[in-house]
Amino acid sequence: MARSSMKPSPRSTIEALLAQARSLVPPANPIRLPPMDGFPDVPQWHQFEHSLWSIGEQIRHAINSQPKLRADRALYSEILKIVQSRNALRGRQSFVLLFAYRPCISWAHELASLLPDSDIDGQIISALYKMRAPGFSAIVAPFLSSGAAWIRREARRYMSFDLDAPIPHHRNA
């Protein structure tokens, strides 16, 4: 009986996970590892990248258990700090996707300002689309010719959405 009341809140769980993630981000830009087998342009992942990615996924599960946390500016400020830490490389991908919800639209400019960043380009474009943030077509357009098919698809999807989006300052009567 008392155990359920002792369970940490989703917010405190997320705060602990963010502290763990911050401790994994290297202070300097890590060396580039050799390419993955079969992908000559894609370096292998550092162990810390795998660990960070996993922590971002754990945070996603915690937020999904309490969706109102998507409106928690203090919490999302801390998540954004991880996303902005370029030394975290691809470990940031799952953290970017934490912004891929409509309540996170106020963070669109911060995310878009990180483009281009080859470690998280596709995730940022996907998040901009999923949060329904209009006005970033000029920033997204260059990714229509990305070497990665999935990023080209995300860019096309965003561009299709943004071209149809109403002009923010005009309202239909």
Of 154 and 32, more confident: 154
For residue 23, is it within any domain? Answer: yes
For residue 171, is it within any domain? Answer: no
C-alpha torsion angle, residues 141, 89, 114, 69 (rounded to 10): 110
For residue 170, is it within any domain? Answer: no
pLDDT digits (tens, 9 = 90+) for 67-116: 999 999 999 999 999 999 999 999 999 999 999 999 999 999 999 999 99
Q: Of 84, 141, 131, 137, give the one whose Cα is nearest residue 110.
A: 84
**CB 44, CB 34: distance < 8 Å:** yes
For residue 140, is it within any domain? Answer: yes
**CB 44, CB 33: distance < 8 Å:** yes
For residue 42, is it within any domain? Answer: yes
How much is the pTM?
A: 0.89
Segment holding 42, helix H or strand E: strand 39-43
**CB neighbour class for 29 (10 Å; exposed up to 12, middle 13-18, buried from 19):** exposed
**Number of domains the chain is built from:** 1
The boundaries of the domain holding residue 153 are 2-164
For residue 173, is it within any domain? Answer: no
For residue 32, is it within any domain? Answer: yes
pLDDT digits (tens, 9 = 90+) for 34-57: 999 988 888 999 999 999 999 999
